[in-house]
């Protein structure tokens, strides 16, 4: 599988990604990740779309495997096991992880349903997936205001690190997917819990488990 447009965007900004992420989230991006990690079981964890490994300090003594299609992002990740690959075709055995974590990745995937099927396949019985991503506020008026703001703020912020186009892409990607309850409706994963975070609730967290019929 060749890297998606989403993966190519990050390859070009790997060295500046964490800094701008922290500024744009007003320092909250790690707290949003932490609320998901706190709900995941111990044991072997797959960080899907791990990027630079920003979540590594949150994983405690879990055995972490970091997967990302961008070698440039993974080169900055200090996880002990790093694998170049895509969520849509995970190079791991069935039932080989206790938990799958994925932060700010789902907007960039080629296929949510293929990735959900792969997550369901690699989770052991009783395993959980935890996902955090950005979208739009639920309320129509707040969503319109948020859309207007990100259209201006994100390309400008991107320009400060020489990545205007990449951050214009981030603005467009925020409209790409519906909220988690709809996003996973017809997939191999079912939502156990979901919640909103950040200004106007434009950040969502979700805990998922394989649907019984997703297991062979
Ligand atoms: C916004 S970054 C998030 C990185 C990291 N999870 C974090 O919390 O900072 C999105 C990451 O998703 C990766 N990505 C893009 N397409 C992907 C795919 N199809 N499967 C897995 N990861 C993908 C990109 O290479 C990039 O590293």
The 3-state secondary structure of 98-140, one letter per residue: EEEEEECCHHHCCCHHHHHHHHHHHEEEEEEEEEEEECCCCCH
Please give the Cα distance from 101 to 59 (Å, whole number). Answer: 10
Q: Is residue 207 part of a domain?
A: yes
Q: Does 143 reside within a domain?
A: no
Pairing of strands 189-197, 203-210: antiparallel
pTM for this prediction: 0.92
DSSP 89: G
Q: How far is CA 149 from CA 107, 108, 143, 180, in A?
A: 19, 21, 10, 23
- d(CA 181, CA 170) in angstroms, rounded, equals 22
- The predicted structure's pLDDT at residue 164: 86
For ligand 1, atom 15, the nearest C-alpha belongs to 7
Average pLDDT over the chain, rounded to an integer: 91
> Atom of ligand 1 at shortest distance to CA of 50?
6
The residue whose C-alpha atom lies closest to atom 25 belonging to ligand 1 is 7
Is residue 148 a part of any domain in this protein? no
Top pLDDT among 20 and 150 is at 150
Nearest CA to ligand 1 atom 26: 51
- CA 10 / ligand 1 centre spacing (Å): 7
Closest CA to 97 of 42, 58, 54: 42
CA 17 to centroid of ligand 1, rounded, Å: 11
What is the domain-level CATH number for residue 116?
Answer: 3.40.50.150
- Note whether residue 26 is domain-resident: yes
| From 21, 49, 113, mutation site for ligand 1 pocket: most ligand atoms within 8 A of C-beta | 49
166 found inside a domain: no
Q: Is residue 18 part of a domain?
A: yes
Sheet with 189-197, side-by-side order of all strands? 81-84, 63-68, 44-48, 97-103, 123-134, 203-210, 189-197
116 occurs within a structural domain:
yes
What is the domain range of residue 115?
A: 5-136+177-214
Among 2, 7, 109, which is best to mutate for testing ligand 1, by the most ligand atoms less than 8 A from CB?
7
The answer to whether residue 158 is domain-embedded is no
String of DSSP letters for 184-195 = TTTSSEEEEEEE
Say if CB 19 and CB 161 are below 8 A apart. yes
Please report the atom of ligand 1 found closest to the CA of residue 49: 22
Q: What is the pLDDT of residue 1?
A: 52
Q: pLDDT tier at 149 (50, 70, 90 boundaries)? A: very high
Q: How many angstroms separate the alpha carbon of residue 68 from the centre of ligand 1?
A: 6
- Max CA pair span of the chain: 50
Mutating to test ligand 1, I would choose from 25, 76, 100, 105 the residue with most ligand atoms within 8 A of its C-beta, which is 105
Asked if residue 214 has pLDDT above 60, the reply is no
Tokens of 97: 């992880």
- Measured from CB, residues less than 6 Å from any atom of ligand 1 are 4, 6-7, 10, 48-51, 54-55, 68-70, 73, 86-88, 103-105, 108-110
End-to-end CA gap in the chain:
25
Number of domains the chain contains: 1
Q: Report pLDDT for 216.
A: 47
- Cβ atoms of 190 and 211 within 8 Å: the answer is yes
Segment 189-200 shows an average pLDDT of: 95
The mean pLDDT of 14-26, rounded to a whole number, is 76
């Amino acid at each position: 599988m060749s890297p998606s447009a989403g993966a190519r965007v990050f390859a070009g900004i790997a060295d500046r990604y964490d800094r701008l992420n922290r500024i744009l989230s007003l320092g909250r991006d790690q707290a949003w990740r932490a609320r998901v990690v706190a709900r995941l079981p111990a044991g072997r964890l797959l960080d899907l779309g791990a990027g630079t490994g920003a979540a590594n300090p949150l994983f405690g003594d879990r055995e972490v495997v970091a997967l990302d299609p961008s070698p440039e992002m993974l080169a900055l990740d200090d996880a002990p096991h790093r694998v170049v690959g895509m969520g849509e075709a995970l190079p791991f055995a069935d039932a080989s992880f206790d938990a799958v974590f994925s932060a700010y990745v789902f907007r960039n995937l080629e296929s949510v349903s293929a990735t959900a099927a792969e997550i369901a396949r690699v989770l052991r019985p009783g395993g959980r997936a935890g996902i955090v991503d950005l979208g739009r506020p639920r309320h129509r008026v707040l969503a319109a205001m948020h859309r207007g703001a990100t259209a201006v703020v994100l390309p400008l912020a991107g320009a400060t690190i020489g990545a205007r186009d990449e951050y214009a892409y981030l603005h467009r990607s925020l409209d790409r997917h519906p909220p988690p309850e709809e996003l996973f409706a017809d997939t191999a994963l079912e939502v156990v819990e979901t919640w909103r975070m950040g200004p106007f609730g434009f950040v969502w967290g979700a805990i998922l488990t394989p649907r019984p019929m997703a297991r062979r």
